[in-house]
Chain A
Amino acid sequence: MNMMTRIDDLALLQKVSAFLWAEADLLDAKDYDGWLALWLAEGFYTLPIGEGEDFDNQLNLCHDNDRMRRDRIQRFQQGFSISSAPPAQTVRTVSRFVIDSVEGDTVTVSSAEHVVEDKFGRQRVWAANMKHTLVASADGFRIRTKVVRLLNSDGMLNSFSYLF
């Protein structure tokens, strides 16, 4: 970032924040087609278990390529999955943005996510550290990778009918 001025830094942070907030809004609204459109086809959406980094060679909660992302969304949308028909409702906040690196048109950003889910009159709270790799294009950012590390990812969780 050495070539950027302080104002450029702030502008980037603002653009990245706006993008991640817009993504969070799509996920809470369950606008999954809109969410799929944010992705570059080569990207992976990963919820790891524990601290590992070698997602291909470890067991994750999910490690979705383009095909698996689309299948997952189709499962949510078709109405045959009892856990997602109806799904839990969610309200989430994304914050604590830190730009980790900027290389060419690629930005890596870390953030915190809190999700509250509601189903059967019961609310549950989830917290996660997120890391997005975003690629800038003419019409805004696209997601190359998204890694969501849930607190207690290697402990007892519940099942999820939505995305983080």
Chain B
Amino acid sequence: MLQAHEKFNDLDALYTPDARVATSMYEDADLFNEEMERIFKRTWVWVAHDSELADKGSFKLSNVGLEPVIVVRDRKGEVNVLVNRCRHRAATVCEVKKGKTSSFQCPYHGWGYGLDGSLRGLPYPEQYGEDFDKGAHGLKKLRTETYNGMIFATFNDDVEPLVDFLGPEVRRYIDLFMKQGGGFPVKVLGEHQFTVPMNWKVQLENTTDAYHFPVVHKSFMQSLDGDAEEAFKFLETGKGFVEDLGNGHSVMVMIPERIDLDEHLDDPVEERFLPLVQELRNGGYPEDQVKKIVRAVGGAGFNLNLFPNVSFSLAFFRVLTPVNVERTDIRHIALGMDGGPAAANRMRMRLHEHFQGPMGFGSPDDAEVWERVQRGTKGGEDLPILVNRGLIDEQPGALGPRGHISAETGMRAAYKMWKRMMSL
């Protein structure tokens, strides 16, 4: 029997030079295991936003690939990412999804760990002998770095610094995305979570897929008023673009006038935001600030897609967690303004509920087509999946090719990185 790494030696057959994806990419369990080792164990994986860990002792559970981790802010204010597994006999030391604590204690034999993962104490230690080294028995700690509030962790101590992994263009777009704080820091307001019977790469593709929007989301478009519907007709206006930003990352600009939310502040306000304008004026906000906040409430005009697991998607974070070859967990994290007007945050949450999550007007239709992809791959094993759309007129961008708004340029960027990481 072939070893898994030999079985996948011919990476060109899995993702061809002319942008065809082999069916087995979505359904081969051995390949999935290789991906978890070669990609999710070796690169930067997004685990949390700074605002989710507001105080010392604040924590949340997260994942790096298949591994459950705790993300926690310690007494010094540093964020630690710790594998959620006692060093004694492997029990999880935390099963609370988020909260605040002063330590983590294993429920099995009472080993206690500090917020930095260090082993603080254990019952009856004398049975391990006098030379027992507590320093060598802390919770396994991942390398952790942050950019503009986005916290990433990696098992790979040799990987390049986070800022280099992101690169200059991604950092520029992250900074632009965070302008939707409207002058306030961006804050996580909550999240929608749903699991979908699909391979994780189906999701990776979708965040950079504008082509599907008018088809899959027709019923969402119909529930919008005229102005908002216009804004989402980005395929017809053709003003947007998709650009490969290097290292598997890409941006899909749907509404170019919303790239920089400090611009176009004097454009007419969409009808759906007029009640908010009035509420902010009544609340005593000066006119300049009202414009800035209302502009920000509408969100950014692009999806910034980071390889391998997080997308900055118009107005929220979309996070994927692979579960197995045919199952992926999705989180849609709602964002608002930390210390901003309650009316603005209410509007942000209602807009999020409108499209996102298990009861949204958009996500259930996305989930349906993603599952249909997974179901469809049961037939025609020999047929390739096409991600070659828009190759015909790509132009050079700052760091990689830039294509039509409906081009599959972003998917090709991701698969290029996939191939690079799988070949190492």
Contact = CB atoms under 8 A, between A and B. Distances in A.
Contacts, number: 95
Given A58-B190, A62-B353, 9 more contacts: A57-B346, A59-B189, A61-B358, A80-B222, A81-B361, A120-B375, A156-B193, A158-B195, A159-B367
Nearest to A70: B223
B368 A83 contact: yes
Nearest to B192: A61
Contacts of A154: 97, 193
B198 to A, nearest CB: 12
Q: Which of B189, B223, B357, B359 has the most CB of A within 10 A?
A: B359
Q: Which of A59, A63, A80 has the most CB of B within 10 A?
A: A59
A2 B116 CA distance: 58
Interface of A: 47, 49, 56-63, 68, 71-72, 74-75, 78, 80-84, 120, 154-161
B352 interface: yes
B364 interface: yes
28 contacts: A47-B359, A57-B342, A58-B189, A58-B190, A58-B349, A59-B192, A59-B334, A59-B353, A61-B357, A63-B353, A68-B354, A72-B361, A78-B222, A80-B219, A81-B365, A82-B369, A83-B364, A84-B219, A84-B364, A154-B97, A155-B97, A155-B193, A157-B195, A158-B196, A158-B367, A159-B196, A159-B360, A159-B364
A115 B190 CA distance: 25
A56 B219 contact: no
B35 interface: no
A159 B358 contact: yes
Contacts of A160: 358-359, 364
Nearest to A78: B219
Interface string B220-264: 101100000000000000000000000000000000000000000
A59 B191 contact: yes
> Sorted from nearest, which 8 A-B pairs have the closest CB atoms?
A59-B190, A159-B364, A81-B219, A83-B368, A83-B364, A62-B359, A159-B367, A80-B218
B363 interface: yes
B357 A75 contact: no
A56 B371 CA distance: 33
B190 A159 contact: no
A154 to B, nearest CB: 7
Contacts of A158: 194-196, 358, 367
Q: Which of A61, A62, A75, A83 has the most CB of B within 10 A?
A: A83
Nearest to B188: A59
Nearest to A62: B359
B216 interface: yes
Interface string B37-61: 0000000000000000000000000
Contacts of B350: 63
A84 B365 CA distance: 8
